[in-house]
Amino acid sequence: MEEMEEELKCPVCGSFYREPIILPCSHNICQACARNILVQTPESESPQSRRASGSGVSDYDYLDLDKMSLYSEADSGYGSYGGFASAPTTPCQKSPNGVRVFPPAMPPPATHLSPALVPVPRNSCITCPQCHRSLILDDRGLRGFPKNRVLEGVIDRYQQSKAAALKCQLCEKAPKEATVMCEQCDVFYCDPCRLRCHPPRGPLAKHRLVPPAQGRVSRRLSPRKVSTCTDHELENHSMYCVQCKMPVCYQCLEEGKHSSHEVKALGAMWKLHKSQLSQALNGLSDRAKEAKEFLVQLRNMVQQIQENSVEFEACLVAQCDALIDALNRRKAQLLARVNKEHEHKLKVVRDQISHCTVKLRQTTGLMEYCLEVIKENDPSGFLQISDALIRRVHLTEDQWGKGTLTPRMTTDFDLSLDNSPLLQSIHQLDFVQMKASSPVPATPILQLEECCTHNNSATLSWKQPPLSTVPAEGYILELDDGNGGQFREVYVGKETMCTVDGLHFNSTYNARVKAFNKTGVSQYSKTLVLQTSEVAWFAFDPGSAHSDIIFSNDNLTVTCSSYDDRVVLGKTGFSKGVHYWELTVDRYDNHPDPAFGVARMDVMKDVMLGKDDKAWAMYVDNNRSWFMHNNSHTNRTEGGITKGATIGVLLDLNRKTLTFFINDEQQGPIAFENVEGLFFPAVSLNRNVQVTLHTGLPVPDFYSSRASIA
């Protein structure tokens, strides 16, 4: 209701309409506000002067005057009155609602009359404050405009709905809040007063009690106002002129104002227009619903943008950190090479220092020895050693002269790091625009009301968001494995509904869908959680059975037209979980040996169940039973079947075992172990046997307790 409030406020004063009138342009305005924005026109533009000049325009032609603003400048919405001596230029003002209005040329004279009775100056013009169309008033002035009583009623109901709660009219002290109103008594009651003064028995039992708000509205509407004719104020409207689009009275018709117009009954047109308005509202309601869904989509986009921003920032930081780590690793490698070169240079120089030091020590020792020899005064002794010393001195000198005093290593490092390409790459590091010019489709919306599961099948439905402008060429539906594993594609196509069969029983699946076109794929929809049935309900499958099998009882009962054994399978396959079903023997003649068990879909259908490697079965006659697989007979067990017997089949794919029961007693040991894959319930029989299938059964209690102990 609060969203409607702007519709109930005058564009001039900004308050709720008071005595609203309808202008020819269909907009509304308060009667007092209409008087305040009247503008006086020159005498030459009055209706009387136009009639005198023979213009042929009536003094109150709504249809013609509504087509164009009389004083507009290219329909800009601004009036130009400055050219008239009697109407000086008046600036345009703004109402509280932001609509431009034109004030009167001079203030209205003080009067104590109501706005409807105050005389309007001659040659007055009124401009609609919303569409700015102008209209010259006739002699009737503002009384020539019809009053909008419907709008008044809506405003009254709106204001009453926001008023304080109604009080009980029979409480003696401190009236309590009323809870009901009796339409016949026209009294508001609280619960204690209703029980005391208006008991639901006797004549009062026929009275109609309604909520207080409804009673308040009905009380107000009961004396409904009757709209009167604007030309004949004592006459009520009784007909409707289709051409003039206005209610008229019978006196208007007698005067001939609408003699050539199509006139219809007021009540009939009232119902017709109400129906048309209701139909128009239906379309508008659909648009409003789409707009609400679109707003939800936009709000979801805000959340998605925030999530994507956080994810993208984290990705960017991770990428930059990876670059920094790679640079640090390369830095460490380069530093290691520098250190290696540094150590090599130091080693070479230190080795040369050591070598020169030893050599210099030897040379110095030789020099000191030679000086001491020179000091000797014994010529013969000197000459004995002088030749050898001279050779040693020359040899030592020659050793110093062969590059010994040249450094073997330079102090400069012959390494130069060229980082300009890397710096250029860093400066050029930027985002690559991955999205093409044309956008991807919007994210599909799963229609929860149409998604469901049945047995081990799931049906999903989805649609494009409302107001989506990017078409989708197809959709991709994904499901996980029912155990919280990875998603896998189960459908790719243009349809918006898909049924997935062959799921595991008693499992929880997650489903999601995305749209795609030539540009790319959309985001995934929200994930939908699906729960398959705990137990299986199924019947025999006529489509895969041998042609000699005869079906009845909605495919739950089967027999055969042949004396040879024929195979029939169940409709549902099992690959996971524990499953139990039973078959009752309806007819058993001449001691045949039917077989019961499980089989693959491609099992042989014209031989006894278990003859090939695609079936695991127990065949039984009236005295004993055998287990059979791939034509191998094992575990003969005493005890057979008769008419009315019940055969139970327990397939435990969690423990990979198959067990049989006759009349609630286990028949022999566990029949088969290490069974895995996809299995279908199966039976083989001939014309001497008829059985009925019973499904949707829980696992026997004794087996459940045994499995829990194990």
Residues 647 and 666: beta-carbon distance below 8 Å? no
Pairing between β-strand 624-629 and β-strand 632-638 as defined by DSSP bridges: antiparallel
Per-residue pLDDT band at 40 (split at 50, 70, 90): low
Report the pLDDT averaged over residues 155-170.
75
pLDDT value for 83: 33
Q: How far apart are the first and last CA of the chain?
A: 66
Per-residue pLDDT band at 608 (split at 50, 70, 90): very high
Min mean pLDDT across 142-146, 387-391, 407-411 is at: 142-146
Residue 501 has pLDDT above 50, yes or no: yes
In the chain, what are the domains?
1-40+120-168 (3.30.40.10), 288-401 (no CATH), 442-531 (2.60.40.10), 549-708 (2.60.120.920)
Of the spans 315-329, 370-384, 385-399, which averages the highest pLDDT? 315-329
Give me the helices (H) in 375-452, please: 379-400, 420-427
Residue 144 has pLDDT above 90, yes or no: no
Which residue did the predictor score with more confidence, 253 or 498?
498
pLDDT tens digit string along 343-361?
999 999 999 899 899 989 9
Pairing between β-strand 624-629 and β-strand 615-620 as defined by DSSP bridges: antiparallel
pLDDT value for 433: 55
CB count in 10 Å sphere of residue 595: 25
Per-residue pLDDT band at 274 (split at 50, 70, 90): confident
DSSP-assigned letters across all residues of 521-548: B------EEEE--SS----B-TTTS-TT
Distance of CA 242 to the CA centre of its chain: 47
% of the chain surpassing 70 pLDDT: 83
pLDDT tens digit string along 545-591?
999 999 999 999 999 999 999 999 999 999 888 999 999 999 999 99
Task: Give the torsion through C-alpha atoms of 338, 344, 345, 349, to 10 deg.
Answer: 160
Min mean pLDDT across 65-69, 464-468, 471-475 is at: 65-69
Report which secondary-structure segment, H or E, holds 266: helix 266-374
Residue 59 has pLDDT above 80, yes or no: no
Distance of CA 512 to the CA centre of its chain: 12
Q: How far is it, in rounded angstroms, from Cα 223 to Cα 217?
A: 11
DSSP-assigned letters across all residues of 53-99: TT----TT-HHHHTTS-TTBSTT-S-B--TTBTTB-----EE-TTS-
